[in-house]
Amino acid sequence: MGRLERAPQRYRRSIPAIGLSLERGTPNVREDGYFYVLVEGEVRGRFRTMREAEAMYKELLKESGYKPPEAAAAQVDPGREAVERYLDELGLYWSESHKHTRRGGKTMYRG
């Protein structure tokens, strides 16, 4: 019996803001099982292992000086949060109440 040939899994990690990507088996690169590091669609490196490709990817990211944008802080209403927490606890209580029912018949607690 011959060895089964499996197509390598597709992989893509990118930062569109600076045009940096790490890809394997995507339409942008050949499907030869290698990992490619691309900058603005131009191949900067081809690697057999992901570890080597990640090293170059991280180096190019560091050189670019890219910083992700700050996430906007969510405005939280304390009153609304307390009500939602209460309703969640109430729902949890009633969803598990069947576990705490008394068992037995009429004569269970007679002495």
Answer yes or no: is pLDDT of 49 > 90.
Answer: yes
Sign of the four-CA dihedral 10, 37, 48, 55: negative
Residue 1 above 60 pLDDT?
A: no
Q: pLDDT tens across 57-76, in order?
A: 999 999 999 998 887 766 77
Beta bridge partners of 22: 13, 37
Main-chain dihedrals φ then ψ at residue 77, nearest 5 degrees: -90, 115
Please say if the pLDDT value at position 14 is more than 90: yes
Give the predicted TM-score (pTM) of the model. Answer: 0.59
Instruction: Give the model's pLDDT for residue 7.
Output: 67
The answer to whether residue 45 scores a pLDDT higher than 60 is: yes
Asked whether residue 30 carries a pLDDT value surpassing 70, the answer given is yes
Low-confidence winner among 12-16, 74-78, 83-87 (lowest mean pLDDT)? 74-78
**If you write DSSP's letter for every residue of 60-96 in order, what string do you get?**
HHHHHT--PPPPPPPP--HHHHHHHHHHHHHHHHHHH
* pLDDT, mean over the chain: 86
